[in-house]
């Protein structure tokens, strides 16, 4: 079932005519869980038009027994006991700030197909690319510049591969993956194809720890975003820790106006510097792929 939202302009800022950002609402018949009603989803879209709040979704994976038993991985994945401390903290802080959780999936309800483009046979248009912010906590890796995110259910593969991602062509602005080694700082330009109006990919260029000292990562991230920090700085700061060395990194799509003739960036006008969560500062306009001049990279250690 599909509902076309072609005539809600009168409910959105009082503008007459056809709503310029028409989207379709799916019944989630392929999803493991239906989280909110169709009526609520329509209300969210109207609110999103006013830029009052963001929609977000979460995947959290703690156990990896099935993928370990399959023999697919060369090294077994350890349990991540603090996964839901992180995910719950982010959920709580974003909801407290007035944002709307469209889905919160855990364990066996998390599939790689939910990140895979519909062009590649996935259902990202119903999950990852159907919200403004998508957060994943799992194990990760990078193979020749391409991201790997591990799942415990083979639906249809054990790991999500960035070769199959095309994000932002429906809705997603910010992809956040709390997992090890998702960004290769020598080959990050190979991720250009995932930026289909996606603003940022927040990941790690090395280890990302799961421990009692990093269980506040999600809470800190939510607070930073709600306090008005740029998304990039919110991520970098949230992953800093006094006991372990996390390695946060952020990739951002930069429009041509921010690129100087000498190859440098006009930093004040970059996506990396300006982009905020809806309702907490300036949010840059979506950048269509042909208008991206380069991917900027910000990283830290600690």
Whether 108 and 224 share a structural domain:
yes
pTM, two decimals, is 0.84
Whether 157 and 175 share a structural domain:
yes
Domain holding 40, by residue range, is: 1-50
Whether 18 and 159 share a structural domain:
no
pLDDT for the residue numbered 261? 73
Total number of domains in the chain: 2
pLDDT for the residue numbered 260? 82
d(CA 124, CA 171): 10
Whether 42 and 64 share a structural domain:
no
In order along its 302 residues, the chain shows pLDDT tens digits of 333 433 333 333 333 332 223 233 333 333 344 455 565 565 555 555 546 799 999 999 999 999 999 999 999 999 999 999 999 999 999 999 999 999 999 999 999 999 999 999 999 999 999 999 999 999 999 999 999 999 999 999 999 999 999 999 999 999 999 999 999 999 999 999 999 999 999 999 999 999 999 999 999 999 999 999 999 999 999 999 989 999 999 999 999 889 887 778 999 999 999 999 999 999 999 999 999 999 999 999 86
d(CA 187, CA 185): 6
Whether 240 and 159 share a structural domain:
yes
Whether 200 and 84 share a structural domain:
yes
Q: For residue 257, what is the domain's CATH number? A: 3.40.50
Whether 14 and 157 share a structural domain:
no
Contacts 24+ apart (CB under 8 A), 64-67: 64/139, 64/150, 64/152, 65/152, 66/152, 66/153, 66/154, 67/150, 67/151, 67/152, 67/154, 67/158
Whether 76 and 33 share a structural domain:
no
């Amino acid at each position: 079932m599909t509902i076309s939202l072609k005539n809600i302009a009168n409910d959105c800022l009082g503008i007459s005519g056809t709503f310029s950002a028409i989207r379709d609402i799916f019944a989630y018949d392929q999803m493991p869980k239906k989280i909110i009603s169709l009526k609520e989803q329509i209300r969210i879209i109207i609110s999103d038009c006013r830029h009052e709040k963001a929609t977000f979704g979460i995947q959290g994976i703690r156990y990896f027994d099935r993928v370990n038993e399959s023999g697919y991985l060369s090294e077994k994945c350890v349990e991540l006991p603090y996964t839901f401390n992180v995910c719950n903290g982010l959920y709580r802080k974003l909801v407290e700030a007035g944002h709307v959780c469209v889905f919160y999936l855990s364990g066996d309800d998390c599939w790689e197909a939910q990140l895979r483009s519909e062009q590649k046979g996935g259902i990202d248009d119903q999950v990852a690319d159907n919200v403004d912010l998508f957060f994943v906590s799992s194990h990760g890796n990078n193979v020749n510049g391409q991201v790997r995110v591990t799942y415990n259910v083979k639906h249809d593969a054990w790991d999500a591969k960035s070769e199959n991602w095309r994000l932002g062509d429906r809705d997603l602005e910010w992809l956040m993956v709390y997992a090890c080694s998702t960004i290769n700082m020598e080959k990050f330009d190979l991720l250009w194809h995932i930026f289909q109006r996606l603003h940022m990919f927040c990941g790690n260029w090395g280890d990302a720890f799961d421990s009692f000292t990093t269980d506040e990562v999600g809470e800190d991230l939510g607070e930073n975003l709600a306090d008005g920090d740029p998304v990039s700085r919110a991520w970098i700061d949230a992953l800093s820790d006094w006991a372990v060395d996390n390695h946060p990194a952020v990739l951002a799509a930069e429009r041509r106006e921010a690129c100087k003739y000498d190859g440098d960036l006009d930093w004040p006008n970059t996506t990396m510097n300006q982009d905020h969560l809806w309702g907490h500062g300036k949010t840059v306009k979506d950048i269509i792929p042909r208008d991206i001049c380069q991917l900027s990279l910000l990283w830290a250690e600690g």
